[in-house]
Amino acid sequence: MQSSNATELMEKIVSLCKRRGFIFQSSEIYGGLNGFWDYGPLGAELKLNLKSYWWRCMTHYREDVVGLEATIIMHPKIWEASGHTSTFSDPMVDCLLTKKRFRADQIDPQSGTIYFYDGATAGGDNAKTSQEPYSVLLAAGKNAESARKVARTFYEQRGIASPTLLGERTEPVVDSVRYNPENGSLMTEPRPFNLMFKTYVGPVESPDNAAYLRPETAQAIFAQYKNVLEVSRQKVPFGICQVGKAFRNEINPRNFTFRSREFEQMELEFFIRPNEVAEKLVDPPGAEPPAPGQPCRSWGWNEWHQYWVEERLKWYESIGLSRDSLELYWQKKEELAHYAKATVDILYKFPFGTQELEGIAARGDFDLTQHQKFSGKSMEYFDEEAKARYVPHVIEPSAGADRLALALICNAYREETVTDEQGKTETRIVMKFHPRVAPIKVGIFPLLKNRPELVKKAREVQALLRPHMTVFYDEAGAIGRRYRRQDEAGTPFGVTIDFDTLGERPELAETVTLRDRDTMQQTRVRIDELLPMLLPKIR
Ligand code: GAP
């Protein structure tokens, strides 16, 4: 259950996202579409920044990972091999009164009294009767009449006019998940609901032409692993990564963009030696031992798994999510996906609860072995160094770009009380994004818009910075108002061009004030020093 403070904070964040153009409801003019979201100008930049930084860190800053961009619709056999056709489902229940659908495992347990009915009758001779049993859960202290009201509505929907309820009896219950928490009505038995979106390839809607929108990007990597291996001159251990859309027909999309039906993933499949092969690879005598925590030839899945957990935590820190804001959750045996030997979730402390940002799974050789079986193509690899042939095992760090964007937005949101030069206090809303992911890096402000010489200089500074970073030129309104607008957008730096820039005080000619969003401190910086000063902060 969310506290009222958390709800209020989330409401403020959602409202800022709309007001400032981070996130809009998809198809809003038609009333929206549940579980689908669009990113406005600032949100699109934020998301692009985090995805490209992830990509750079995976592929450009490492020698052992290469990229892939695969299609969203793939051969349907892929989903048979991966197990998604048969097992990618959530338990679903429907309210018998409102037909509202819930995920059975997300129903909060409730206690109280259950009111059972054997049926209902419209009364009178030959009157219509229903013998369908039904029940309603009433929380302690509630009037029995409200259970009867719900039950009467239920039987009315079954064609019994002005129903008289039959066979009422009651029973106390503790922690039941069989009743709709919103109205107490009994729900259907849970049944599996496959989350994949189905479509048809070509003009004929036949079972032979059925295909799916991918529910994860990972499977394309497994399906293309041999091709990539052949062209990239990589050797195990190595990784293939991909950023792209995934689709899940979630039963209950919720918490803003957290659980959406269309979202983006950033996934790495890191191929490693099976333990029995790695164990035999001892380092040659006299070889330098690897630095602590650094990869070593004899590492098995456990060490690689730990390594990637640590790498990913460091990555989150590098974009401003402190370790304090994150938690690790080791999935219990019964929670593990069918393919996983171990999974660690990296959780972020969202206002609505501490929830998963990324899962890091040790998938064994499940996927490649399945694709080998279903495609008939060998997925084996000959390891020159170990002189062994095997199907590689996999460690998979799998992150969600939309969840991360939401975490960054929640993490950045601050309300601060500030006092202006006249001693007036006001609330400053500021988005403290790490400069690496901030949608706009620099706001550029001529002190006055009606002084062509200031405007000309400001445009020159804009032209200087623009090829290297996102800048926003703003000449409208008082300078304080312009700063506030950029604070709300999360712009980490503000550059103001004033009369000193033009040489009013000769010693300050060709300098600007550089304002830091977080400290609000202003320093005087030479224009030709701006780029070397800003670039390392935003890269
Ligand atoms: N290939 C493994 C895999 O897909 P997952 O835990 O189902 O694992 C990985 O998904 C990540 O994708 C999650 O940690 C989350 O960040 C993101 N994700 C999954 N379902 C999502 C949804 N409905 N909406 C937004 N992001 C989602």
pLDDT band at 127 (very low <50, low <70, confident <90, very high): confident
Phi, psi angle pair for 412, to nearest 5°: -80, -25
The whole-number pLDDT of residue 55 equals 98
* pLDDT-based confidence at residue 534 (cuts at 50, 70, 90): very high
Å from CA of 391 to ligand 1 middle: 26
Confidence of residue 135 (pLDDT cuts 50, 70, 90): very high
Query: What is the spatial distance between Cα 134 and Cα 169, in angstroms, rounded to a whole number?
Result: 11
What's the mean pLDDT in 328-349?
A: 93
Question: For 121-128, which contacts have Cβ atoms below 8 Å and span 24 or more sequence positions?
Answer: 121/160, 121/163, 121/164, 121/166, 122/160, 122/161, 122/162, 122/163, 122/164, 123/162, 123/164, 128/159, 128/160, 128/161
**Atom nearest to 404 CA in ligand 1:** 16
Q: 340: Cβ below 6 Å to ligand 1?
A: no
pLDDT above 60: residue 1: no
- Closest residue (by CA) to atom 10 of ligand 1? 398
For residue 284, is the peptide bond before it cis, meaning its omega torsion is within 30 degrees of 0? no
pLDDT score at 291: 80
Closest residue to atom 21 of ligand 1, CA basis: 259
- How many helices, marked H, and strands, marked E, lie in the chain? 14, 29
Amino acid at 209: N
Q: How large is the average pLDDT for residues 510-535? A: 98
Q: Atom 4 of ligand 1 has which residue's CA nearest to it?
A: 216
pTM over 0.85: yes
Pick the residue whose CA is nearest to atom 14 on ligand 1: 358
Buried b (16+ CB within 10 A) or exposed e, 460-474: ebbebbeeebbbbeb
Best substitution site from 213, 214, 258, 265 to test ligand 1's pocket, by max atoms within 8 Å of Cβ? 265
338: tokens are: 């069918």
Mean pLDDT of the chain: 95
Q: What pLDDT, on a 0 to 100 scale, did the predictor assign at position 2?
A: 66
Task: Report the SS3 class of residue 473.
Answer: strand
| Per-residue tokens: 440 | 């706009």
Q: What is the pLDDT of residues 261-308, one digit of tens each?
A: 999 999 999 999 999 999 998 777 777 777 877 888 889 999 999 999
Q: Is the CB of 259 under 6 A from ligand 1?
A: yes
Q: Count other Cβ atoms within 10 Å, centred on residue 149.
A: 13
By percentage, how much of the chain surpasses pLDDT 70? 99
- Mutate which of 358, 403, 406 for ligand 1 pocket (most atoms within 8 A of beta carbon): 403
Query: Nearest to residue 342, comparing CAs of 319, 364, 327?
Result: 364
Task: Report, as an integer, the average pLDDT of 328-334.
Answer: 94
- Three-class DSSP category at 489: helix
Per-residue pLDDT of 77-91, as tens digits, reads: 999 999 999 988 889
pLDDT in tens, 32-69: 999 999 999 999 999 999 999 999 999 999 999 999 99
User: What percentage of the chain reaches a pLDDT higher than 90?
Assistant: 89
Backbone angles phi, psi at 78, to 5 degrees: -55, -40
Closest residue by Cα to atom 22, ligand 1, is 259
Q: How far is the CA of 133 from the centre of ligand 1 (A)?
A: 39
Q: Give the pLDDT of residue 337.
A: 85
Give the tokens for residue 89. Answer: 């489902």
pLDDT per residue over 211-235, tens digit each? 999 999 999 999 999 999 999 999 9
Q: Is the pLDDT of residue 498 over 60?
A: yes
- Interaxial angle between packed helices 4-20 and 479-489, expressed in degrees from 0 to 180 and rounded to the nearest 10: 110
Atom 20 of ligand 1 has which residue's CA nearest to it? 259
Rounded to whole angstroms, the Cα distance separating 355 from 361 reads: 17
The pLDDT tens digits of the residues spanning 431-476 come to: 999 999 999 999 999 999 999 999 999 999 999 999 999 999 999 9
Phi, psi of 281, rounded to the nearest 5 degrees: -85, 85
